[in-house]
Structure formats: C-alpha cells, structure tokens
Structure 1
Amino acid sequence: MLDATGLTGAGIWHNTLRQILRNTPEQFFEQPNGFTQQTVCYPSGLLPTAVCPYQQLEWFIAGTEPTTADTLYQQLFLDKLTGHLATEATPPQDRIQKLVLDLPPTAQPWAEAQGITLLSQVQLGDGEQGSRGAGEPMTNEQGPPARIYLLSPDNNLTYRLSPSLPADAQRLRLLAAADLPLAELTFWLNEEPLATLTTAPYEFWWPLTLGQFTLTVTARTPAAS
C-alpha cells in the first residue's frame, strides 16, 4: 500500500463497527465447555521449570495441555574468563551461574540485538575440546563447522521496482543466522562479495536493481573456516 498503514485501516474499521453496533445490546461471552486453564512458561507454552522467569495462565482445549517441560530457559555454569560453559578444569571461584536461552536460528538475530545470552554463544560445540591451564583462558584447537541459515529473502522470489517510490526506499533485507558464534559472515551476489559483517545481527539492506541474481552466504568461525 502507498501512503497507508495498518493504523489507518484499523481506525476506519473501529469507527465503522461502533456505528453499526451503536444500538445493539451488550452481550457477554459465555465460556464453552471442554476448556481448561494451565500455567505455562512464556514464550514456549510448555510446562514451567524452576528457572522459567515468565509464567502465565493460558486456556486449552481439554486434552491438549502441554505435558513436557520448557527447554528454552537453561541455568548453566559458565567460566567467567572464557564466557563458555564451565568444564572440569574451571576452578570453583571462576564458575558463574547464567540463565541462557536456547532459541532456534530464526530467532537468534533478534535475541542478539536485544543483548540476550544464547546457548549457542556459550557452548563449545559437538566434539570440540577445551583446554585450560592454571589461571589461563580456555582455548580450542579447532571448532566444528557452523550451520548457516539464510532467513531473508526466500527462494525464487520476483520483485518489481515502482516508478512512484524513491529508489533509496526500494531495498531488500538480507538476513542470515548461524548456530555458532562467527568471526565474520559474507553475503555474495552472483558470486561477487556484497557485504561482510562481523557482528550479529547479520543483516544488510540491498538496493533493488534490475536483473536476475543469486544470493549466497559464507561464514568463518573464530576457530575454523
């Protein structure tokens, strides 16, 4: 839509309904049978654990209530010198408790932008070994390959340039995420480097241009390529 937003339509719809229902008697909603209430952990909707900080009461159709515990919130011990999970080599005085979130890759760019500590930021990775001498930071010989997710745009899309909009207002959001911390991430357009980012969120706004393009992403972890 041009020169219109959802706020415009919502106001018009609100006033229209109020006018139509002006002389209609108020009716109260009667709760139907077959519904139950249960406290869940927000935002997963699963059963709250002892470390779940946000809980709320929700309605469920009887028989559909959650039966498994929340796994988004996890209380872990970290090594305060490395910022990673504590190991057997971490002295007790260097262990700190931290509440972290185990979010899917699609939600990680938002969480990182909000300063939320993620499980993927503190874990070492599958099969990765950490070593630490007395008083020395933990180091990793080689890290596992990161899985990269291209979140925007979707595959095989066609966009149209509008002659009625300024060129700088017609941009395409490129967004990627990874399941491990990255040293850098690069967007490639038709096999040419477009933008290299070193911090999350890995986001770049590309001005739309006439033509056919293929977008790819490469990344490098701090410990491995």
Structure 2
Amino acid sequence: MPAIYDCADPASLLDGVRAARTAVAAGQCIVMPTDTVYGIAADAFSHAAVAGLLAAKGRDRGFPPPVLVADRAMATALAEAFPPELEPLLEAHWPGPLTVIVRAQPSLTWDLGDTGGTVALRVPDHPIALGLLRETGPLAVSSANLHGMPAATTAQEAAEMLGDRIALVLDAGPVGAEVPAGAQNGSTILDCSTGGVVRIVRQGVLPREAVAAALGDLLADD
C-alpha cells in the first residue's frame, strides 16, 4: 500500500505536500483530493509520468487526462485562447466542477496522449488541491480508479484500487457532491475547441441548467 498522509493533521499535511511535490518532480504518480473525486496526478510536462498515469489506470493514449491548474492565469498559459463567450461560465464555476476542452498552446512540449491539439483544463475547488498545484504547477489528473471502476471518493478506496502504482495519497476525508440524476460523479466536461457551439461531452455534477444559464444559445442541444 502507498503511504497515506492525513491532511486533517497540520504536521501530516505539511509532510504530505512536501512528499507529493518530491514525488511529482521525480515523475511518480500520487493521489490527491479534489472537490468531486480523488484524482491520480502526475507532472503534465513529463511524457514518462503521463504514460505512467495512464498505465496505472489501465488506459491507453486514447484517454488523455485533463490538466488541473491553480488559477485562471495558469490555465491561460496552457490554452491557445478562451472563447470570450465562456467568460461568464468560467467566472461562475472556476474553481469548481467544470472542465473545458480548448485548443492547447501550440508551443508547449508535452504529450498527454491523443488530444488532437486540445487540452482539458479545470481549476478544482479544494484547498489542498489548489495549494499543491501552486507548488507543482499544472498536473495531469484523472479520477483515481482502475479503468471501468467507480471513481474513488475516499483515500482508502483510491489506495486499495491503485496500490503500488502510486507513490502516496493525500487523505482529506470523503470528497464529492450530490450527483444529479443521470450524471457521472466528476466534473462536467465541455468541448469548446471547435470555435462554434459548445457541447457537453460528460455530464457531471455541474448541472446542464447552470451551463445553459451562462452560455445561452452557444450550448448545443443534447
């Protein structure tokens, strides 16, 4: 089993964040809390680390992980541009359970998988996640589970599923929010990369109604 750091204890939290920062820098995978589920995280700019993340979950390059960032400035550095029509949505739901797929900054030398030149970005609404991201920079993060299994909402679930595939777990207790009927446990993912209408590619805990309220006619029908 990987080392588990109890983030409710200030000393353990400090040790855990330091260990997580060291592990990420060494190209290892860790598990961190977010506002929706626990995530398996790795250095977004390390090809080997991202490959290790996909292998740990039992996924291939056809499932590129989203990238979590600490704030809008960090996201702006990774995106070619954000459509101005997205501003009300980002203002309302970043940080939050919203992931947006946009065209990636073409100058970036990273390899997240078969992205087609896009990147899925999110600012999570969790203090431990944001604190870690401010220290590490952007992290490739996918739900902490084996492919086909439910996403982990506790540190113990993540540790049991992923085992020695990860270096450590930051345990912030149970995470997540109420999931709307018919939705998945995780962030709502929008494809904003085409320059036209915005499509919901995964309905998560952010309701469609909240997205529609901000985007209006820009949101495509189901």
Answer yes or no: same fold by TM over 0.5: no
* Higher relative contact order, structure no. (Cα contacts within 8 Å, ≥ 6 residues apart): 2
Q: Which has the larger radius of gyration?
A: 1
Q: Shorter-chain TM-score: what band?
A: under 0.3
Larger strand share, 1 or 2: 1
TM-score normalised per structure 2: 0.22
TM-score normalised per structure 1: 0.22
